Structures are given as structure tokens and as C-alpha cells.
Structure 1
């Protein structure tokens, strides 16, 4: 019996490509992952709101060049429906400087299926409060999983 690829697996490929582009500070690759619409939005963990492709490009370029990071997903929740996938992820944003402390961030990615490809339509990141980050890390260390 033939094996068919699941349509939502490709959305994970887009998310992985986003993480890779961030780690490489590759703004062209990063922007190639967004839907080609001016309604796109990005709310960054520092509280800045970026609206539209040009504003997102400039804002992310400035942030990543000032403070390069790699993103490690720690807990991923996926909600999918026809044409839309939402990822709710607890992430560690690790600075390029290995001596620096990672930032713990809750991020939601909204992806839409457009012309056969999964594209980012919205990102909303929020810094995890210190107390929550400490509890999250303790549960991860004890193998309980982050949300038990």
C-alpha cells in the first residue's frame, strides 16, 4: 500500500527552516518563509510590534544582528486544521555567546497553506516570567515534561 505524506508535516519543515535562518542570521531566507501579504505581523519577545513585510524585515534584521540567537524548542503543541497550523512552543533563545544565559520565551506561530507551501502569517513571542521559567526548567530536569 502506498504511503502518503501528511500535509501538516510540511508546516514543521517551515518552522525548522525559520529556526535555521534565525541561527544563521539569514534575513533573505527568513523573509522567504512569510506569506506574501501585508497583513503579516510579528510581536517580538521584547514587546515590539512589527506589521507588514518591510517592517518585519527591518525589525528582525536589527534584532538578530544586535543579538544573534539560536532557538531551541522545548515543548511544542500543534493545532491544525485545513489550511492553518498553529504552533504554541516554549523555547530557549540561546545567545551566540555561550557564557550568556538563554532567554525563555513562549512563542506562537500561525502558518497558512498558500499555493502548495506553508508560510508564516503571524508570530507572537512573549518573554517567560522568571518564576515560570524556573518551574519549567525544574520540571524538564526531573523528566516530568514542561506542562504537567
Structure 2
């Protein structure tokens, strides 16, 4: 019997692999998660626009060298349809220095199902407005996860 109910779980695996590779600063692993098409694009929270795999690789290298972070998802919204999953996530980008405050970011990940695997086609990040960042920071201080 086919297992159609679990098809979108693999998209979450791709997202988790993204977070892990960011924390490890593993550019090869990060690039292995993108769809193999030149139309891919990425917009960072600082406003940088990257188009194409080579541009994204170069941008990731520079970004992660300057700002090594781990990403903590705080609130996740998932929109899925046949062949596409969109994650809208409130994230805390935690710097390597544990004393530094995390950057609060809204990120949208667009993933497509290609040849049996979920791959990233587009990422768009933007800084949270101060009011929203304060609310999420308060939830983090009180130990409330994304489901509270």
C-alpha cells in the first residue's frame, strides 16, 4: 500500500538538514539541498539578493564566515500542495557567542519535489519588526516553544 500521507515529512527533513548544515558551516551540504536549476534564488535578511547556484554558494560562504549562527525555529507555518511545500518560519539566528542576542528573522522556504527528493528552490528572509521580535524573545525567555 502506498504511503502518500508521509510525502511531506521528507520536506521537513530537508529543512532540518539546512539548519544542521548552517550550524556546522558546511557549504557543500547546504548546496546539496538546493534544486539543481539556475532559477534558484535567496534573499537574506540584510537585503542581499542571490540568484543562481554559484551566487548562492559564494554568498553563503561569505555570510557564514562573517556571522556563524545556529537557527532556532520559533513558529512554523506549513503550506503544502502536490510537488511544493512552503514554510513560513519565525527564527532566532543565534550567534556563536552565547552572550550575544539572537537576530529575530522571518524566513520563507520554498521547496519543490524533484526526482523523489525535496529540494530548496527559494529562501526569503527579513528582519522581524521590533514589536514581533520582542514578543518572540519574551516567549524564548519563558521557555515557551513554538507551539505555545
User: Fold conserved (TM > 0.5)?
Assistant: yes
The verdict on how the C-alpha distance between 1:145 and 1:92 changes in structure 2, with shifts beyond 3 A counting, is closer
Q: Distance in 1 between matches of 2:98 and 2:143?
A: 24
8 Å CA contact 2:74, 2:136 repeated in 1 = no
The verdict on how the C-alpha distance between 1:138 and 1:3 changes in structure 2, with shifts beyond 3 A counting, is farther
8 Å CA contact 1:139, 1:146 repeated in 2 = no
Pairing of 1:76-87 with structure 2 (within 5 A): 76-87=76-87
Aligned to 1:113: 113
8 Å CA contact 1:43, 1:49 repeated in 2 = yes
Q: Over the residues paired in the alignment, what is the CA RMSD in angstroms?
A: 2.0
Deviation of residue 137 (structure 1)?
Answer: 2.8
Deviates more, 1:130-139 or 1:115-124: 130-139
Q: What's the TM-score, normalizing by structure 2?
A: 0.91
Q: Distance in 1 between matches of 2:143 and 2:12?
A: 27
Q: What's the TM-score, normalizing by structure 1?
A: 0.91
Structure 1 unaligned regions, length at least 5? none
Q: Distance in 2 between matches of 1:22 and 1:145?
A: 20
Deviations 1:90-139 (A, max 9, x none): 00000011111100000000000000000000000001122221123335
Aligned to 1:11: 11
8 Å CA contact 1:136, 1:146 repeated in 2 = no
The verdict on how the C-alpha distance between 1:139 and 1:97 changes in structure 2, with shifts beyond 3 A counting, is closer
Structure 2 unaligned regions, length at least 5? none
Q: 3-state DSSP class of the match of 2:97?
A: coil
Q: Distance in 2 between matches of 1:144 and 1:122?
A: 26
Pairing of 1:1-148 with structure 2 (within 5 A): 4=3, 6-139=6-139, 141=142
